[in-house]
Amino acid sequence: MEEEKLWIVEEVNKLLGPLVVKVFSYLGIHLNHHEPIPAHVVLALLASITVIVVFGFLSGKPTMVPGKKQSVFEQIFLFVDNLNREIIGHEGRQFIPIVGTLFLFILTMNYFGLLPGLASPTTNINVPAGMAIFVYLYYNYQGIRRHKLAYIKQFTGEYIFIAPIMGPIEFVSHLSRPLSLSIRLFGNITAEETLILVLAGLFAPLLPVPMMALAIITGALQAYIFAMLTAVYISGAVSEEH
């Protein structure tokens, strides 16, 4: 779990910690000198770099006859493209960068917990919450951008006389979305890592293996659910049915 001392977190703080402390001190913010860069921030940044490097390598220069790297990249692209087309419709392709990046980013972070010396940054509630807030702001921005003032119907309903009833209900419903996204991802990945650590602590080296195998599936499933719900929210925001 993130509470453990992770070597990569210690090394990053040794290298960049003093600079970060100095920069924030100029802003009047005083950080913990022992670990100014929290573990979940280090791990999330590492996941970002991993996604950029790995999928930048896989994309490469496209050819008419795809090789192994290009085939893998194309399968990932088609996976996200099909997801968006099924949920958002013919406009889904323009949202591949957002939905696809979230899926790959969360997948990478979830799998970090299965690697020795690392942990899943999604076990810190700040990481899922940050992504959920971003999704909330993004789909509402797309709705306003598409429908202008008519987007208010998302919250008031189609007819003005039911606005006093629909308004509060829809408002609470929309506000609950980032909370739901956050808690679902945080709770599932935290439970997985906790169970794996408990099993490993029973002095049976092979005991956590089945759970780790299951975590490969559930880690991908949680990333998929987050990406799918993002596509659902975008679809609702940009839909012409307002």
The overall average pLDDT reported for the chain is: 87
Give mean pLDDT, residues 74-80.
93
Domain presence at residue 118: yes
Question: If pLDDT is split at 50, 70 and 90, which confidence band does 222 have?
Answer: very high
Domain presence at residue 166: yes
Burial of 240 (0-12, 13-18, 19+ CB in 10 A): exposed
60 or 228, greater pLDDT: 228
Domain presence at residue 224: yes
Domain presence at residue 165: yes
The b-or-e profile of 37-47 (16+ CB within 10 A means b, else e) is bbbbbbbbebb
Domain presence at residue 58: no
Question: If pLDDT is split at 50, 70 and 90, which confidence band does 215 have?
Answer: confident
The alpha carbon of 226 is separated from its chain's Cα centroid by a whole number of angstroms, namely 7
Summarised one tens digit per residue, pLDDT across range 5-38 is: 789 999 999 999 999 999 999 988 888 888 899 9
Count of helix runs (H) and strand runs (E) in the chain = 8, 0
- Output the pLDDT for position 27: 87
- Output the pLDDT for position 149: 85
- Output the pLDDT for position 77: 92
Q: Which helix (H) or strand (E) holds 109?
A: helix 96-112
Domain presence at residue 227: yes
142 or 60, greater pLDDT: 142
Residue 212 domain boundaries? 67-238
Give mean pLDDT, residues 84-113.
95
Give mean pLDDT, residues 117-136.
95
pLDDT exceeds 50 at position 2: no
pLDDT exceeds 70 at position 212: yes
Q: How many domains does the chain have?
A: 1
Distance between CA atoms of residues 130 and 120, nearest Å: 15
Domain presence at residue 122: yes
Domain presence at residue 38: no
- Output the pLDDT for position 203: 58
Summarised one tens digit per residue, pLDDT across range 34-72 is: 889 999 999 999 999 999 999 888 777 777 777 888 888
The alpha carbon of 94 is separated from its chain's Cα centroid by a whole number of angstroms, namely 19
pLDDT exceeds 80 at position 201: no
pLDDT exceeds 70 at position 1: no
CB contact at 8 A, 125 and 186: yes
